[in-house]
Amino acid sequence: MFSKILIANRGEIACRIIRTARRMGIATVAVYSDADARSPHVKLADEAVHIGPSPAAQSYLLPEKIIAACEQTGAEAVHPGYGFLSERASFVEALEAEGIAFIGPPPNAIAAMGDKIESKRLAAAAGVNVVPGFVGEIEDTEHAVRIAGEITYPVMMKASAGGGGKGMRLAWSEQDVREGFESVKREGLNSFGDDRVFIEKFIESPRHIEIQVLGDRHGNIVHLNERECSIQRRHQKVVEEAPSPFVTPEMRARMGAQAVALARAVGYHSAGTVELIVSGADPTGESFYFLEMNTRLQVEHPVTEAITGIDLVEQMIRVAAGEALPFTQEDIGIDGCAIENRVYAEDPYRGFLPSTGRLVRYQPPQNGEEQGYVRVDDGVTEGGEVSIFYDPMIAKLITWAPTRDEAADLQLQALDAFRIEGPGNNLHFLSALMQHPRFRAGELTTGFIAEEYSEGFTGAPASPELLRALAAMAGTIVTIDADRARRIAGQLNGPPAAPGDWQATIDGQDYLVSIEEDAITVDGEPVDIAFEYTPGERIIFAELDGAALTVQVAPRKLGYTLATRGFSRFVRTLNARYAALSAHMIEKEAPDLSRLLICPMPGLLVALHVAEGDAVEPGQPLATVEAMKMENILRAGKSGTIRRINASAGASLAVDAVILELD
């Protein structure tokens, strides 16, 4: 067994690997860029080595920096985590040339499966079902248009070396191919150093199912059941669960057998994942096709660990050290259900635009359940920075329970108690997903988010009972806060606040809240809500009609923002007399910004598609902005003429920066 390993990664996955290595008695070495100098993974490791500037291309993606860090510290092996160098065969070969072990698969397997074109050929030869498409090299946009027409729309354009949702575009028409092909090439080149693209048929109503495989150097290969990863946004996974509510034991056996056959065909060892796309329109489960094989640890591996009891990182380390797997296929079962939600730094209320900045508050939920558990995998800390240089994921929230509904209920409770302030985040959106009737029914496809939130996300729906409860809570909070303010103003010895009436307004609806010593009424009707509140508290644990309710509180001018169960609203809370007078106040009109193209996120202006004096029509591409490794096309909202351009290609833009103006 190794005595010291280096983790060639950052963030939550680096922390995750370090914890398992420490439990095994193995010393660890972290590497870090300028941006990560104070990151948790650096503090958690036994040693840390600085490897360069903040951009990954100048630090984490340089094999020579990793090898030098190994030589400096005496690390005997490298665990790559996911992303960065984890699927680069040349990196493995460079390590082996220096006598450093790689905690992952052999380089030939990485090369074969990392090339999406070659991997499809190998999969077909191994008897694995493959998606119909063109697996040769595409010369240019015109060639891509001809191929897409032959396959028939819709088609998916993918970077050959892509992964993680990057370098992918769905095309419903020739125009989509013409607009997206070059963008896919650029994303593939920028993220993976390979601009080759392939095109395949897009399977409609698809479910994304993946099979976890694990092999050793002695020829033993097993699969650890499946994960359902169908809830995605822009081809990036948001929610994963194990087992899938769609997969039957017979389907599981067929999918597992094909995954193991593919792994065996390329001489695979270590952990890997065979990704499949399944037609949700076929209830027999026969219509499943090979997408790709990820020759590394997956982000969503914790849900597999939860239902099997197997620590995948530990097994990867043991396999790399030459040990045989301590179990066979017959030993692997399924215990309960697990769900993972990815907590991203993005604003779902603004079209899921990436968000950056300091984590002013970061307080993950605690595990306190007897019939399940909550696990948070993260690599951030309060006061830390969410950087523009890396992936926007803040944390992974994993729950396990005996049943799927119980695991989802645990997610709801944990999301309500997860406190993040600073950059925008998707906690409310995840809570809405966990409550959605279609999710609860297990009726999932990769189009779930686009179909159910086609008009954008405005929060989870709230029942009339919940609205009344939030009004009652706001009235109670403002009474307690006003009492405290009165006592302070009176040298802490003034009388308590007199019982009174408050007008709480939510989404334009007024509620008259009366606070008495022994009761709270809303519009004259009692509300059965019980909680304790001390001024300054930001999370309130309440009971509504006898059921637990966790509410986050943020004071605002003239009221509070209250958030629970994915529903977040400003509750204007005024003394009833003042509220009547406020109706006579004149409201200030918002300025007209429709003639401006405003950058919706911090990012890099990759391209301008227009010049001053050009006439534009609604929907026409105006500029492309890259943020957190993803390209975003900004389009005209109305017709007009370009009056002035305020930024040039290659410029770094702040959020709300004006890119151009229209007449």
Q: At what angle do helices 107-114 and 116-125 cross, to 10 degrees?
A: 100
Is the Cα torsion angle 310, 312, 318, 322 positive or negative in sign? positive
Quote the radius of gyration of the chain (alpha carbons, Å): 27
Helix (H), strand (E), coil (C) string for 352-402: CEECCEECCEEECCCCCCCCCEEEEEECCCCCCEECCCCCCEEEEEEEEEC
Amino acid identity, position 341: N
Residue 87 belongs to what H/E stretch? Answer: none
The owner of tokens 């996911």 is 82
Half-sphere exposure of 566 (CA within 13 A, CB side): 20
Spatial distance between the Cα atoms of 363 and 352, rounded to a whole number of angstroms: 22
Task: Give residues with Cβ within 8 angstroms of 213, minimum separation 6.
Answer: 221, 222, 223, 224, 259, 260, 263, 268, 271, 272, 273, 274
Tokens representing 294 are 């990820």
Report the SS3 class of residue 36.
helix
Spatial distance between the Cα atoms of 81 and 56, rounded to a whole number of angstroms: 15
What's the distance, CA 20 to chain centroid?
A: 23
| Angle, CA of 313, 315 and 321, to the nearest 5° | 110
How far separated are the first and last CA of the chain, in Å rounded? 69
Q: At what angle do helices 301-308 and 312-320 cross, to 10 degrees?
A: 100
Catalytic residue selected from 240, 292, 346, 626: 292
Antiparallel, parallel or unpaired: β 270-279 and 288-294 = antiparallel
- Residue 503 DSSP one-character state: E
Task: Give residues with Cβ within 8 angstroms of 648, minimum separation 6.
Answer: 605, 608
Report the SS3 class of residue 663.
coil
Task: Give residues with Cβ within 8 angstroms of 135, minimum separation 6.
Answer: 117, 120, 121, 198, 200
Helix (H), strand (E), coil (C) string for 422-486: CCCCCHHHHHHHHHCHHHHCCCCCCCHHHHHCCCCCCCCCCCHHHHHHHHHHHHHHHHHHHHHHH
Tokens representing 570 are 């400003």
DSSP string, 218-242: TS-EEEEEEEEEEEEETTEEEEEEE
Identify the burial level of 376 via C-beta atoms within 10 angstroms of its C-beta, where 0-12 means exposed, 13-18 middle and 19 or more buried: middle
Task: Give residues with Cβ within 8 angstroms of 250, minimum separation 6.
Answer: 285
Give catalytic status of residue 47 as yes or no.
Answer: no
Catalytic site positions: 292
